[in-house]
């Protein structure tokens, strides 16, 4: 009996130590707009695989600079498709690992209910002091916001009222705290499970800006890391895709 129990305990210890040896950490740089869904995906990924995800959130352009300067990120979830492609061309990403994980949408949003109408006419009326956007030089959602304002012939009129955040997360924060009456944010920041989480908004028509194709890529640091490859495959799975769609992204 003791011998059998000893064998069982030995087997359990081996199984646990084997799992521990197989689990690993993966360093992920994620575009600010995708922070909330990625936190959910990471939690499910950790439960399902035993690997741990270490997330850093910020502007795509800033991450590009950090990666070029040797930041040890292993996976990059960008807010565009150009930056990952550029990193791949420059030898900083694993060839063939890149894919589009989401297509983002832009929303004109206010924390105040009823402030933004469903046609975006509030922009043309101009009865606001501050309009928040992300930095168009480093954040694709900021560049998309500038496209919209240009298409609507409103850029000159609202230019003095623009409040620029370092990334789309900061732009959202300006509006959420009332420092700007309204702003261009990512739909995913104000939507969950198909519903607006608060305030009022206008979903900007897709014809007013170029599609925000968001690509993921394994970086050079992750080339020999199985956890990085496992995460990329997980992002393509049904569980991750369901979470992505629940935040208003297209696939």
Q: How does pLDDT run across 43-56, given as a tens digit for each residue?
A: 999 999 999 999 99
pLDDT-derived band at 162 (thresholds 50, 70, 90) equals: very high
Question: What are 25-76's pLDDT values in tens digits?
Answer: 999 999 999 999 999 999 999 999 999 999 999 999 999 999 999 999 999 9
CA 140 to chain centre: 11
Three-class SS state of 107:
strand
Question: What are 166-216's pLDDT values in tens digits?
Answer: 999 999 999 999 999 999 999 999 998 888 999 999 999 999 999 999 999
Rounded to whole angstroms, how far apart are CA atoms 7 and 14?
10
Please name the residue that has the structure tokens 């509030």: 122
> Which percentage of the chain shows pLDDT scores above 90?
88
Q: Which domains does the chain show, CATH number per domain? A: 2-103+214-246 (3.40.190.10), 106-203 (3.40.190.10)
What confidence score (pLDDT) does residue 9 get? 41
What confidence score (pLDDT) does residue 55 get? 97
- Mean per-residue pLDDT of the chain: 91
Selected residue with higher pLDDT from 103 and 22:
103
* φ, ψ for residue 190, nearest 5 deg: -125, 10
Q: Are 217 and 94 in contact (CB under 8 A)?
A: yes
Helices (H) and strands (E) in the chain, counts: 11, 12
Q: How far is CA 204 from CA 18, 66, 84, 117, 162, in A?
A: 50, 31, 25, 11, 18
Looking at the predicted structure, is the pLDDT value of residue 80 above 80?
Answer: yes
Inter-residue long-range contacts of 192-199, CB under 8 Å, 24+ positions, other chains counted: 192/36, 192/246, 192/247, 193/246, 194/246, 194/248, 198/111, 198/113, 199/109, 199/110, 199/111, 199/112, 199/113, 199/115, 199/116, 199/175
Pair of tokens at residue 212 = 């925000």
> Which percentage of the chain shows pLDDT scores above 70?
91
- Rg (alpha carbons) of the chain, rounded to whole number: 21
Query: What interhelical angle do 140-151 and 168-176 show, nearest 10?
Result: 70
C-alpha neighbours within 13 Å on the C-beta side of residue 127: 6
DSSP classification of residue 221: G
Question: What are 88-139's pLDDT values in tens digits?
Answer: 999 999 999 999 999 999 999 999 999 999 999 999 999 999 999 999 999 9
């Amino acid at each position: 009996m003791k011998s059998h129990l000893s064998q069982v305990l030995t087997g359990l210890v081996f199984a646990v130590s084997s799992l521990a040896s197989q689990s690993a950490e993966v360093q992920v740089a994620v575009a600010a707009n995708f922070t909330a869904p990625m936190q959910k995906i990471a939690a499910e990924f950790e439960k399902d695989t035993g690997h741990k995800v270490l997330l850093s959130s910020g502007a795509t352009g800033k991450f590009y600079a950090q990666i070029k300067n040797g930041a040890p990120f292993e996976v990059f979830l960008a807010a565009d498709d150009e930056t990952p492609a550029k990193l791949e061309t420059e030898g900083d990403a694993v060839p063939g690992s890149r894919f589009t994980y989401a297509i983002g949408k832009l929303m004109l949003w206010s924390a105040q209910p009823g402030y933004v109408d469903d046609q975006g006419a509030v922009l043309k009326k101009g009865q606001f002091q501050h309009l928040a956007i992300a930095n168009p030089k480093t954040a694709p959602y900021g560049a998309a916001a500038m496209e919209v304002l240009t298409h609507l012939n409103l850029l000159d009129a609202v230019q003095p009222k623009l409040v620029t955040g370092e990334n789309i997360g900061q732009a959202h924060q300006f509006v959420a705290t009332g420092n700007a009456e309204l702003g261009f944010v990512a739909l995913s920041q104000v939507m969950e499970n198909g519903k607006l989480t608060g305030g009022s908004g206008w979903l900007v028509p897709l014809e007013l800006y170029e599609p925000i194709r968001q690509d993921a890529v394994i970086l050079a640091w992750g080339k020999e890391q199985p956890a990085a490859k496992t995460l990329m495959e997980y992002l393509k799975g049904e569980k991750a895709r369901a979470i992505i769609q629940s935040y208003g992204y297209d696939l």
